Structure 1
């Protein structure tokens, strides 16, 4: 049995396609502003070549493929929050862009069963360090894949587009 939202309307499952969720709860589009999150699009270069791999992780609740992301943090700039999420959720650190490379939207099921629209500003992180021990180890699966494979795995259409269009911003001295 589905949970009931305000007014007794059934809530869509978090795994439902975005449009199906919106169709079941159109009031969510107009009730409040989108909640803000920050994401880390982590990549690494393959053997010094132009080829890259992108890090995808599973969510803790549904096990779907996502990128590291989280809520704003007090006294942290958005790009700093994205970098912290990459470290806590996947054990990776690196050079983070200070400007977002894009954004995507999705509906998040909150702890109380309600669904909130979220916008995720995405910051590019060129991974330089990877640790086998990190805060959420054992709660997620991590995988380094090609941009096309990363796009196949994630559900959000706007995120798919960011993944396949990724053009790493070069570091000083890099091609």
Structure 2
């Protein structure tokens, strides 16, 4: 039995980890705008995202990440708008396959003072520019599909 378990672990991919993200939007002078933040490890432009939190629903965890990483508050829609494959770069340098569950926040306002204000850059960009700037193709595609 141990041999079978060892062979399974070598050939079967474990299920992907789960992360949550928030697509934060508002109406700006050029139409709909989207918040992107710079990741701390790779410097890529991404949606605010993080790990699920004990005692919170996935949408509540995504809203908390949007607040912590971007200072974003707004009208949170309760249903996920997408579930896309992604990779989380670990401190070891390895990539962990993840399913990224994305929710949407409309009428987003951005606070000047928020938990990661001194750590991250953030940008509010029109849809086309945000989709082009997103450093993960699936995020750019999602922005175009959801808002374009």
TM-score bracket relative to the smaller structure: 0.7 to 0.9
C-alpha change, 1:128 and 1:28, in structure 2 (3 Å) is farther
Return 68-77 or 99-108, whichever deviates more: 99-108
Runs of 4+ with deviation above 4 angstroms: 27-30
Q: 2:44 aligns with which of 58, 64, 88?
A: 64
CA contact (8 A) 2:32 2:147 kept: no
- Select the residue among 135, 142, 151 that pairs with 2:122: 142
Q: Please, which runs of 5 or more residues in structure 1 have no aligned partner?
A: 1-26, 169-175
Q: In structure 1, what is the Cα distance between the partners aligned to 2:50 and 2:40?
A: 12
Range with greater deviation from structure 2 (88-97 or 112-121): 112-121
Residue segments in structure 2 that go unaligned for 5+ positions in a row? 1-8
Write the deviation string for residues 148-169 of structure 1: whole angstroms up to 9, x where unpaired.
111111122221111012249x
Ranked by relative contact order (alpha carbons within 8 Å, sequence separation 6 or more), the top structure is 2
Q: How does 1:132-171 map to 2 (within 5 A)?
A: 132-167=112-147
Q: State the partner residue of 1:125.
A: 105
Query: 1:104·1:156 contact (CA, 8 Å) conserved in 2?
Result: no
CA distance in 2, matches of 1:28, 1:145: 44
Q: Quote how far apart the aligned CAs of 1:125 are.
A: 0.5
Aligned residue in 2 for 1:93: 73
Q: 2:63 aligns with which of 83, 92, 95?
A: 83
CA RMSD of aligned residues (A): 2.2
Question: Does the 8 Å CA contact 1:41/1:55 hold for their aligned counterparts?
Answer: yes
Q: How far apart are residue 30 of structure 1 and its match?
A: 4.2
